[in-house]
Amino acid sequence: MSDDALIVENIPIEGISPSDGVVSIWTLNRPEKLNALNSSSHEALKNACADAESDDSIRVIIIRGAPPLPAAEGKKQKPAAFAAGADISEFAGKNSDDVRPFFENNAWERVWNLSKPTIAMVDGFALGGGTELALSCDIRIASNRAKFGTPEINLGLIPGGGGTQRLSNIVGYGKAMEMVMTGDMIDADEALRLGLVNAVVEPEKLENFTMIMAQNIGKKSPYTIKVAKRAVRAALDLGMTDGILAERSEFVALFDTEDKEIGVQAFLERKEAKWKGN
Ligand code: COA
C-alpha cells in the first residue's frame, strides 16, 4: 500500500511469477524537505513493514529517498537525499512526555525487526534519523555523493532511533563516539572504509546495482534467507559460544526443510532450484 509519505512499488523477480516473488521498493517521498522523517513517514513505514510481513510474495525490501524535484523558478535546486533526519520541525516545543510514545513505537525498530532482507539505497544526504534508518537495514549501498552523519548533537540531542547502538556496532566505539560527539558528516568513501556501506557506485548506476543485488537475494529460498538473517543477527545479541550454538541449531533444523533437499538435489543434478519456501 502506498501513501503520500511513502511510495511502495513491487518489482517482479526475474524467473519468478510476481505472485511468488517481488522486490518491494519503498520511496520516502518528501523531496522538498530532503525526505526528513515526520510522523506520517513513520506511520507509512510501520504500515509497509506490517504489509511486508504478511505478504509472502515480498522477498526483499529496498528503502530509498525520492529524488529532488526540479527547482521552482528563482529557487535553488534541492540536493539529493535518502533522508536528512527526523523532521526537526516536529521537535519544537515538545517535552519528554510528548515524544516518548512516538520513540517507543518508531519505524526504525520496525524496519530493524523485519524478518525479510532490507537494503538501504542511499543517494545524497543520510543524516540523523536517515543514517539510523539506513543502519536499521541489513545492507547499505551508496552513491559516491552520499553523506552520512549524526548531527543531533547540534540540536542539543543524541541519536534516538537506535543510532548510538547500531553505529558503534558497525563502525566501532571510537568512530561512533567521534561521529555522535562532533556531528560531522562523512562521505561515501569513508563510509565504505568504515564498513558503514557495502558498496559505493556512481549515482546513475545506483539503482541498477542495488536491484541486481536485491534480485540475487530474492531468488534464494525465502525461508532459508530468513533463517540466515536470524543467524547472523544472533551475532549481535549473543556472545561467541551462544552464537555458535544458535547457528548450529538453525543449521541443523534446515535439514528438515523441503528447500534444503531441493537445493542439494538441484546442485547434484545441475539444475536451477525451484524453491518451495519451506
Ligand atoms: N527536518 C526538517 N526539515 C528539513 C530537515 C530536517 N531534518 N533537513 C532539511 N530540511 C528542509 C529544510 O528546512 C529546507 O526546507 P525549506 O526549503 O522549506 O526551507 C529543505 O529541507 C532543504 O534543506 P536546506 O537546508 O535548504 O538544504 P541545504 O542544501 O542548504 O542543506 C542539509 C542540506 C542536509 C545540510 C541541511 O538541510 C541540514 O543540515 N538538515 C538537517 C540535518 C539534521 O540535523 N538532521 C538530524 C535531525 S535529528
pLDDT, tens digit (0-9, with 9 covering 90-100), for 94-137: 999 999 999 999 999 999 999 999 999 999 999 999 999 999 99
In the 8-state DSSP scheme, what is residue 90? G
Of 221, 222, 226, residue with least CA distance to 272: 221
Q: Is the CB of 45 under 6 A from ligand 1?
A: no
pLDDT value of position 3? 63
Q: Is the CB of 78 under 6 A from ligand 1?
A: yes
Atom 41 of ligand 1: nearest residue by CA position: 84
Among the options 14, 73, 104, 152, which is catalytic? 152
Reported as a pLDDT band with limits 50, 70 and 90, residue 261 is: very high
Distance CA 255, CA 179 (A): 44
Distance CA 43, CA 24 (A): 17
In sequence order, the β-bridge partners of residue 120 are 63, 140
Q: Is the CB of 86 under 6 A from ligand 1?
A: yes
Comma-separated ranges of CATH 1.10.12 domains in the chain: 222-268
Asked whether the predicted pLDDT for residue 1 surpasses 90, the reply is: no
Cβ atoms within 10 Å, residue 138: 20
**What angle do the packed helices 258-268 and 222-237 form, to 10 degrees?**
110
pLDDT value of position 103? 95
Indicate if 104 belongs to the active site.
no
Largest Cα–Cα separation, the chain:
66
State the chain's mean pLDDT as an integer.
97
Q: What's the gap in Å between 34 CA and the centre of ligand 1?
A: 6
Q: Is the CB of 170 under 6 A from ligand 1?
A: no
pTM of the complete model: 0.97
Asked whether the predicted pLDDT for residue 47 surpasses 70, the reply is: yes
Q: Tell me the per-residue pLDDT of 135-148, one tens digit each, with 9 for 90 and over.
A: 999 999 999 999 99
Q: Is the CB of 87 under 6 A from ligand 1?
A: yes
Residue with grid cell 518508531, as numbered in its chain = 106
| Helix or strand (DSSP H, E) at 247 | helix 240-254
| Region 28-48 average pLDDT | 97
CATH number of 6-218: 3.90.226.10
- Mutation test residue for ligand 1: of 33, 90, 182, the one with most atoms within 8 Å of CB: 33
Distance CA 109, CA 4 (A): 22
Q: Tell me the per-residue pLDDT of 160-219, one tens digit each, with 9 for 90 and over.
A: 999 999 999 999 999 999 999 999 999 999 999 999 999 999 999 999 999 999 999 999
Indicate if 204 belongs to the active site.
no
Distance CA 94, CA 2 (A): 29
pLDDT value of position 2? 57
Comma-separated ranges of CATH 3.90.226.10 domains in the chain: 6-218
Q: 222-268: which CATH number, 1.10.12, 1.10.3470, 3.40.50, 1.10.1740?
A: 1.10.12
CA atoms within 13 A on the CB side of 79: 14
Q: What's the gap in Å between 180 CA and the centre of ligand 1?
A: 18
